[in-house]
Chain A
Amino acid sequence: MSQPAPETATGGSTAAAPETGSATSRSVPQAQRERLLELDGLSKSYGTVHANRDISLHVERGEIVALLGENGAGKSTLVKQIFGLIKPDRGTITIKGDASPIKDPRDAIRRGIGMVHQHFQLVPVMTVAENMILGNETTSRGVLDIDGARRLVRELSEKHGLRVDPDAEVEDLPVGTQQRVEILKALSRSVDLLILDEPTAVLTPQETDELLKVMKELAAGGTSIVFITHKLREVLAAADRVYVLRQGAVVGEVATADTDARGLATMMVGRDVVLRVDKDEATPGEDVLSIRDLVVLDDRQLRAVDGFSLDVRAGEIVGVAGVEGNGQRELVEAIAGMRPPQSGRIDLLGKDITKANPHETHVAGIGHIPEDRERHGLVASYSLADNLVLNRFSEKPFANGFVRDFDAVRQNAEALFTEFDIRAAGVSAPAGSLSGGNKQKVVVAREMSFGPKLLMAAQPTRGVDVGSIEFIHRRIVAARDTGAAVLLVSAELDEVLSLADRIAVIHGGKVVAEMPGKDAERTEIGRLMAGDH
């Protein structure tokens, strides 16, 4: 199976969707079926790149359809064409039997398409009600009809079971609630088809589950939903049918009842993916990282980390599990020297690094895969070679004193390209031109390649495709096996469960429970994460 042809490798159920749809949803009775959306031969190229190639698919009324694919597979391009943001080069989009081209988003909305973007389009300083009517303001005698807007929010909230306070200011709301506002806003324009672009990327596991429930309720009420994701669990939990995209083309269509996670993953990457991480028993050595009674303030000067204590030994992976926003970010930043702690103590191999700056923690032996790779991990306009020495530019052999050695920088990049399977046009390509998975591999390569004593990985596979996730997980285990201490902080409970030798559950800025990773119970951890201890 070293060279499976994509079509055959995925089995019989994956043939591209025929015109009349052989594999249709079984959740919708035959009588009610109405073809809401049909794409026929949709193609879009940018220069020589085919973002979408001859895509044909259809969505019935009341159906939830998932678009699944790796980073750069062309999912966003596809839905942007449905919403009128991009014009297709070829092919037709038929909405409720009307095949006329979609002129712009306004036209799409008029025809019953609603879209919730990955990055919310809300005004943070306005209330929910104000945001709701933004762009579609109703006035009475020249004055904005805020009372009407409030009523609208309440009516929609009740109708769809999405609770939101109309007078809350958006910036004060948690991300999941903001998304709910976006969905309500789309629904307020009487949509038949709701497009969700990576709706769960920013959500906590709880919020994700709630969203999936809401999606099902909306579908039961007759709204069709198309959602983009690369999380297999969500596809299986919520979707009726799934289209798998790879390199701009539909490589498979299957009813979720007829497949499983492994089958979907295989279709996505054209090969099998180990979803479980194979690793040997850990053989922990001496304490590498030792944290005692750490207190760290967040940007609002609140105690985000509040009396946190933890030890991480050489040769083990300690996973910090917790609902996001329980101090994980501040904890990681404090260890890395990016955020000075209020009190407490951090030791690395017996050396006090509580007050060290990022340069000093790096020199002390901490490799840090930051949570936000675009913001902290990479300089988008720098070459990959420069990014691969971003925190080592002044060290030998990359510089002789004051003068940089470009040959050494390039050789380093070439070696790491091979070792970490980085797919790019070349070492001088700008980092911003890579897909999410490859960007993350660049960060991982840089932070692992200097032989760190402590590898600190924050959300190491967020927004990364399945193939890269597998690779990164293997590398993390490999780092452990060569004797590094690994501190893994992840909002993906599955990731913590499959990688960690020991699990520390964080809630309210402190460790509320520690347990061996081997026989950790998913439900038990979930209970602890929720603050029930």
Chain B
Amino acid sequence: MADPRDEPSDGTPVEGAVATETAPPPVLAERGAPPPPTGVLGLLVREQSIIVPIVAVIAALAIGAVLIRAQGVNPTYAYQSLFTYSFGTADGLQATFEKMVPLILCGLAVVIPLRVGLFNIGAQGQLMSGAICAAAAAHAVREAPGFLIAVIAMVAGILGGAMWASIAGALKATRGVHEVISTIMLNSIAAGLIDYLVNGPLKDPSQSYPSSYPAPDGAKFQALGFVPIGLPIALVLAILVAWMLRRTTLGFQFETIGRNRHAASYAGIKLGGMIVLAMAVAGALAGLSGSIEYLEIDPYRYQDGIAGSLGFDGITIALLARSSPLGTIPAALLVGALRAGSSTLMFNTGIQPEIVDMLLAITLLLVSLPIIAKLIFRRHTAKSSALASSWGS
């Protein structure tokens, strides 16, 4: 054996090492996707391909076709009449766009917490809080100029939604209350509280049905042709959220917590504050969508049903978008078109509009089923997990 001290004593062992090991260590081979966060949530968060949502939508439409056929209607005709209205007519397009606005915003309200590792089920309650705050604020300043009323109503909606969501964030950060439980309960609390408000202090006495005062005329949003004002707002916000998550230090902190909160804490990120902040931003977006509903959609009042199931649709949107902020836009376009066209569908074919809810439910089920991803990516997954488990000795 050569003198073992040769190399170390010349003071350049590092270069020596590089020279002797030109072949890359085997572990460094391309291993495809990084190790994902664990659990179902991790699967939802993981940015993968757009194949899964597209397959899910096609499969849902196919299952829907069977159901439509069972009612004696030609599915091609049914889908044709639905989408022709939603995309092919000015009224329909405007309706589609109007639906898109809260869908994008509520989708974003689910996407941001998902990145932090939280599942926000409470966009519904946050939207309702935003809407009632907007209605109350607009009524309080009803003598002001219309434009100012609209701005104040939107700010009130943002604050209302943010406040409502940060309750869940604060409970999580300080007491460890699971956000799924707390946001579900806050949805019910919001519904009850608002029920009281529109039957009492905020009730418009001129209406027989429980309802808030209407938005003052000057504050109502006018559509630009068939494009509602809310749409550019929602699109800009989707881009802003994408930028925030990708390029800013705030987004980095959110992502780090979502991927490894122990490392986040080690790196000096304040978990509690960030969790509350992420929920507040999410609630602000949902609350804004509530105030836009109030200002943009006839009857321009808060009344029962204003929220529909928009907040819950936000979950569908976020999952369809695979928690990508920009992905909420095509997802919302699809869901918005289905919702906008459902009444035409009934008018033309007699099929109940609930078919759309069923389609969305099936889609949601399919996108969230980990099994789909596994089936499609079986080979890839098997390979990389074998790699992951077989090394490291």
Contacts and interface: CB of A to CB of B under 8 A. Distances in A.
A63 interface: no
A45 to B, nearest CB: 10
B250 interface: yes
A393 B249 contact: yes
A421 B18 contact: yes
Given A76-B391, A86-B390, A425-B28, A272 B7 contact: yes
Interface in B269-288: 269-270
Nearest to B388: A432
Nearest to B8: A274
Nearest to B256: A379
Contacts of B249: 393-394, 399, 402-404
B2 A434 contact: no
DSSP class of B's interface residues: helix, strand, loop or mixed? helix
Nearest to A432: B35
A310 interface: no
B31 to A, nearest CB: 5
B34 A262 contact: no
B30 A425 contact: yes
Interface in A345-364: 357-360, 362
B392 interface: yes
Contacts of B1: 9-11, 263, 266
B14 A402 contact: no
B51 interface: no
Interface-centre pick from B7, B26, B248, B249 (highest chain A CB count, 10 A): B26
Interface-centre pick from A271, A273, A386 (highest chain B CB count, 10 A): A271
A380 B260 contact: yes
Contacts, number: 196
Nearest to A262: B4
B348 interface: no
Contacts of A266: 1, 4
Contact of B26 (A3, A51, A429): A51
A390 B26 contact: no
Contacts of A77: 390-391, 393
Contact of B259 (A2, A11, A48, A382): A382
Nearest to A245: B393
A200 interface: no
A460 interface: no
Interface residues of A, number: 82
Contacts of A370: 266
B27 A72 contact: yes
Interface in A176-207: 197-198
Interface in A210-224: none
Interface string A270-285: 1111100010000000
Contacts of B31: 430, 433
B170 to A, nearest CB: 19
A376 B387 contact: no
Contact of B391 (A51, A377, A425, A467): A51
A235 to B, nearest CB: 14
Interface string B228-268: 00000000000000000001111011001001101111111
Contacts of B28: 423-425, 429, 433-435, 438
Nearest to A463: B392
B21 to A, nearest CB: 7
A436 B1 CA distance: 29
A162 B22 CA distance: 46
A425 B393 CA distance: 20
Interface string A358-385: 1110100000101000011111111000
A1 interface: yes
Contacts of B36: 381
Nearest to B4: A272
A74 interface: yes
A62 B248 CA distance: 61
Given A379-B256, A435-B392, A430 B34 contact: yes
Given A271-B16, A271-B20, 7 more contacts: A266-B4, A359-B269, A379-B259, A390-B256, A391-B268, A393-B267, A399-B249
Interface of A: 1-4, 9-11, 46-51, 69, 71-77, 80, 86, 197-198, 228, 247-248, 262-263, 266, 269-274, 278, 336-338, 357-360, 362, 368, 370, 375-382, 386, 390-391, 393-394, 399, 402-404, 406, 421, 423-425, 429-430, 432-436, 438, 467, 470-471, 474
